[in-house]
Structure formats: C-alpha cells, structure tokens
Amino acid sequence: MKRILIVDDHADIRRLIRMTLEFEGYDLIEAPDGPTALRLAAELLPELVLLDVMMPGEIDGLEVCRRLRSDESFALPRVILLSARGQATDRDAGLVAGADLYLVKPFSPLQLIDCVAQMWETV
C-alpha cells in the first residue's frame, strides 16, 4: 500500500484530501505543520507528500520540500505542492524547491486523484 503524507495547517483541507483519497487504497498520514511533517517523513518514509506551501511558523512548505530533497534519509518522496498562489513566480519557486508538481487551490477531487496517479506513473 502506497503511503501519502498530507501536510496542511487547515484541518478541513486535510480532511477533504483524506476523503478524496481514502477510497483509492492509500495509507494516509496527516501533519498540521512543517516540523511535524519532517518528523513523520523521517519516521514513516512516505512515497508521496501533499504539501501546503503557506503554513504558519518558521518552516513553510517550500522549506519542507527543500529539506526533503536535501536529506537522503527521507528516501526522496514525490512532492506535490498545494497552494492558493498560482502565479508563474510561485510555481517556479515550488519547482526550484524540488516539487514534482504544483497544484493550485481550489482544486477538484478529480484533479487531485489525477495528480496523485501521475506521480505513480512517473516513478
């Protein structure tokens, strides 16, 4: 079973993502912030991280992505950044940080399912 770490500071967004993906047969784990995401990624080694860009605190989604990419102990999971910011500069910053995909909020459940499926196709 493929493991996905869902990282968002809003519980309702995490719940929406969980409800969208739970019937697809994934092992879903949730984190409310960057430090928790990094700890869970190191402990549980997810194959995919769905990562909110804008989170409060000193570690935002871009920094989490950078750290996941720079530390070999994370086993280099795939990363899909989720953000309400959809400008080209925002997308570019996400890709420079190491994201595989950048999905702009609000997104439909079908968009999310398609993006997650795309990550397994490119492995």
For the domain made up of 3-121, the CATH class stated in words is alpha beta
> Per-residue pLDDT tens for 1-31?
899 999 999 999 999 999 999 988 899 999 9
Do residues 77 and 46 make contact, with C-beta atoms less than 8 angstroms apart? yes
pLDDT digits (tens, 9 = 90+) for 65-98: 999 999 887 777 899 999 998 899 999 999 999 9
pTM recorded for the entire structure: 0.94
- Phi, psi (deg, nearest 5) at residue 78: -70, 150
Q: Domain coordinates of the chain in residue numbers?
A: 3-121
Paired tokens of 103: 């999905």
| Confidence category of residue 122, pLDDT binned at 50, 70, 90 | low
